[in-house]
Structure 1
Amino acid sequence: MNYNIRGENMELTEALKEYVEKKVGKLERYFNESPDANVHVNLKVRPDKTAKVEITIPLPNLLLRAEEDNADMYAAIDLIIDKLERQIRKHKTRVNRRAREMGSPKEVFAQIVAEEREQRLRVLEEEEEDGSFDIVRTKQFDLKPMDSEEAVLQMNLLGHSFFVFTDAETNRTNVVYKRKDGKYGIIETA
């Protein structure tokens, strides 16, 4: 793993960097081989002297992201690693369940990658056809098959108000969003 560690409103010491790398490095035990991923770590000290830690690890079939606030920076790092471990275990459970239903994990991932590639091509074709609007920013991302519960979890982990995903049961593109009353809604495509 490649580490990108930033400090805001604080001096980033070697001891703190080593602690982060040691703790995040323990996540590698959940993978068959060490993932070639960029680990983005943001350590921040707020004006009220509380620490905020954000870690984002984009992987080919999973985005791991967590935030944690605590009075102690080292305690916040420990807590955020626990959150990331829970995300990995939850993802592995779902992959294993899907593998039992659909075949080997290699076949499942191959199918997911093929579907994501097709979806990406459809999005690019639609953007090329419709050039009448002033688009100021384009974002591309892979749609991962998941259920609505996991989509809500991913949306909250990213801190967004909506999340686009492929429904694992219907294989259709859906959007989950947070309503003003704090509950969630789903927009299903026909």
Structure 2
Amino acid sequence: MEIVVTGRHTQIKQRFRDVVENKMNRVTAIAPDAQRAQIVVTHEGNPRQADTAKRVEITVIAGRTVVRAEASSADEFSALDLALDKLTLRLRRSRDRRKDHRRGYTNPQPVDLGVVEPPAVEEPAVDEPSNSPADAVAGDLGPGESVEVQVGDTPIVIRRKLHIAEPMSIDEALYEMELIGHDFFLFVNKETGRPSVVYHRHGWSYGVFEIDTPENVKKD
């Protein structure tokens, strides 16, 4: 499995890379078909957030499955352990779901939800926002590519990313959202052909937004 470690606003030390290489054996033990793992470490410079100064995001690509987890802590090593715990749990759920489908169980109940993002693109060691508004057009980006743009002289930074939405059912979208660990997921509803969003409301309650134009709705 290819392992890529990058940093945002921080430099990655060799010791951390060595620890990552060793600990990622947990991933290959559960998902031997995993092809790539991207680990992104982000440093929060605000001293008031010292307890969560390091955030580790792990994205694993295994075939067409993308599983993601993240965690924050005072240092990158403990954040890595927390993120790995979440990731391995989701990988086990993914493995068990595939086993259930092979046994003929086709209607599993969704579990804790948590947007699938396409495979992350390796970023420079220090990720600085772009100042060119033209660079922020998502249509100019490739799948999985992202760009950050600062709004004028304000401290506001907008990060844009191109997401490839594949046609799928609502149940499949809920499952993909769980693997990524976010509260919403963008997809194309294969039953209606409409761009849609599933999202986590509370408890076991979820919602679905479908997007269409007034002209198309009138035709229906």
Q: TM-score range by the shorter chain?
A: 0.5 to 0.7
Give the alignment's TM-score, normalised by structure 1: 0.63
SS of equivalent residue, structure 1 residue 88: helix
Using CA pairs below 8 Å that are at least 6 residues apart, which structure has the higher relative contact order?
2
Instruction: Report whether the alignment pairs 1:177 with 2:202.
Output: no
CA distance in 2 between partners of 1:2 and 1:165 (Å): 30
Match of 2:54 in 1: 51
Q: Deviations over 1:49-73 (max 9, x none)?
A: 4110011112213111111111121
Per the alignment, in what secondary structure is the counterpart of residue 10 of structure 1? coil
Q: Which amino acid aligns with 2:25?
A: G
Q: Work out the CA distance in 1 between the residues paired with 2:21 and 2:75.
A: 18
Hey, what's the Cα distance between the residues in 2 that align with 1:173 and 1:84? Answer: 31
Structure 1: 5+ residue runs without aligned partners?
Answer: 103-134
Q: Is 1:77 matched up with 2:80? A: yes
Report the count of equivalent residues: 151
Report the CA distance shift for 1:162/1:64 in structure 2 as closer, same or farther (over 3 A): closer
Deviation, 1:149, is: 3.9
Report the 3-state secondary structure (helix = DSSP H, G, I; strand = E; otherwise coil) of the residue aligned with 1:136. Answer: helix
Gaps of 5+ in 2: 106-137, 141-161, 212-219
1:153 matched to which residue of 2? 178
Aligned ranges 1:54-69 → 2 under 5 Å: 54-69=57-72
- How far residue 178 of structure 1 moved from its aligned partner, in angstroms, is 3.6
Alignment correspondent of 2:186: 163
Hey, which of these two has a bigger chunk of helix by percent?
1
Describe the superposition over 1:85-112 as per-residue Cα deviations: whole angstroms up to 9, x where unpaired.
111111111111111007xxxxxxxxxx
- Over 3 Å counting, the alpha-carbon distance change for 1:66 and 1:139 in structure 2 is closer
Runs of 4+ in 1 over 4 A off after TM superposition: 141-146, 171-174, 187-190
Letter matched to residue 186 of structure 1? V
1:140 equivalent in alignment to 2:164: yes
- RMSD value, Cα: 3.5
CA contact (8 A) 1:164 1:173 kept: no
Equivalence for 1:40:
38
Residue of structure 2 equivalent to 1:186 = 208
Q: Which residue in 1 is equivalent to 2:14?
A: 14
| TM-score, normalised via structure 2 length | 0.55
